[in-house]
């Protein structure tokens, strides 16, 4: 829950700062680079998480996440403050209450803003719904189970490998698609790792039966 609150808070903050810091003409380039960087970072995060896990144990990826968060904090400290004022220095009229009441009025009066908001709610809602559903389908649907049973028990657990099965960077926890450092795939892999059991006899990790018992029954 703390993670979810933190993500929503940071998402709002990132997007507000994006519109203030980045000139309007550069928003396209910036959004584009964020989208590409987001995917590339998530793949890299999976690999780094595996390396940290190998060297520091199960808690390694979490310690790495702390280090990354501190690094992000250092970067954020250099940003200029965004009070949400319509004119520079107009802090007095930009209280949270005022912004929300004015925001509601704007939504009520401008159908384009209403439609943009609804489009965002419908499309992102659909994406998050399908993400959680894809995980269930991956683990419970018969053809996927055949594939997973065939490959996974014969291999040691590998975070990038599990990630490829997630098929989606948001399958485990609902995290917005706009976060600059995409931690959801990281957490997805670690969430799966927590559900795996180590089979000492065959010296291998066994994940799927445990997860399937939890989700499919």
Partner 1 sequence: MMAITIGGIVFQPLEHFFATKITTKAKAPELSAVFSYIMASLSMSVPAICLCCAAANVCFERVLASFLVIEFCVGLSSPIAGILRSKYVPDAYQGAIMNIFRLPLNVVVVSGTHATDVLEQYQVFGIVSGLFLAAAALQATLAMDGEVEKKQVKKD
- In the complex, the residues that contact partner 1 under the rule CB under 8 A are 8, 12, 15-16, 18-20, 24, 27-28, 30-32, 34-36, 38-40, 42-43, 84-86, 94, 99-100, 102-104, 106-107, 112-113, 115-130, 132-134, 136-137, 141-144, 163, 167-169, 174, 177-178, 185
Task: Pick the closer one to partner 1 by CB: 40 or 59.
Answer: 40
DSSP-based three-state secondary structure for 106: helix
Among 186, 134, 208, 127, which residue's Cα sits nearest to residue 3?
186
Minimum CB separation of residue 55 from partner 1 in Å reads 23
Q: Token pair 């039966």 is at which residue?
A: 209
16 neighbors 82 (Cβ within 8 angstroms): yes
Minimum CB separation of residue 200 from partner 1 in Å reads 33
Task: Pick the closer one to partner 1 by CB: 136 or 181.
Answer: 136
The distance from CA 106 to its chain's CA centroid, rounded to whole angstroms, is: 30
165 burial via Cβ count (<10 Å: 0-12, 13-18, 19+): buried
Minimum CB separation of residue 204 from partner 1 in Å reads 26
Task: Pick the closer one to partner 1 by CB: 175 or 196.
Answer: 175
């Amino acid at each position: 829950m703390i993670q979810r609150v933190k993500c929503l808070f940071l998402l709002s903050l990132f997007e507000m700062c994006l519109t203030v810091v980045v000139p309007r003409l550069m928003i396209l380039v910036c959004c584009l680079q964020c989208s590409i960087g987001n995917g590339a970072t998530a793949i890299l995060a999976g690999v780094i998480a595996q390396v940290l896990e190998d060297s520091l144990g199960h808690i390694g990826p979490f310690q790495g996440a702390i280090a990354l968060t501190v690094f992000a904090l250092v970067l954020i400290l250099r940003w200029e403050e965004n009070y949400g004022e319509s004119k520079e220095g107009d802090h007095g009229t930009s209280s949270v209450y005022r912004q929300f009441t004015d925001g509601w009025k704007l939504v009520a009066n401008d159908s384009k803003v209403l439609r943009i908001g609804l489009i965002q709610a419908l499309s992102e809602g659909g994406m998050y719904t399908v993400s959680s559903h894809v995980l269930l389908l991956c683990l419970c649907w018969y053809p996927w189970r055949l594939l997973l049973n065939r490959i996974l028990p014969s291999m040691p657990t590998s975070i990038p490998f599990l990630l490829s099965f997630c098929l989606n960077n948001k399958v485990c926890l609902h995290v917005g698609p706009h976060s600059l450092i995409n931690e959801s795939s990281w957490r997805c892999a670690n969430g799966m790792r927590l559900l795996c059991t180590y089979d000492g006899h065959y010296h291998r990790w066994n994940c799927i039966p445990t997860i399937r018992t939890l989700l499919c029954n």
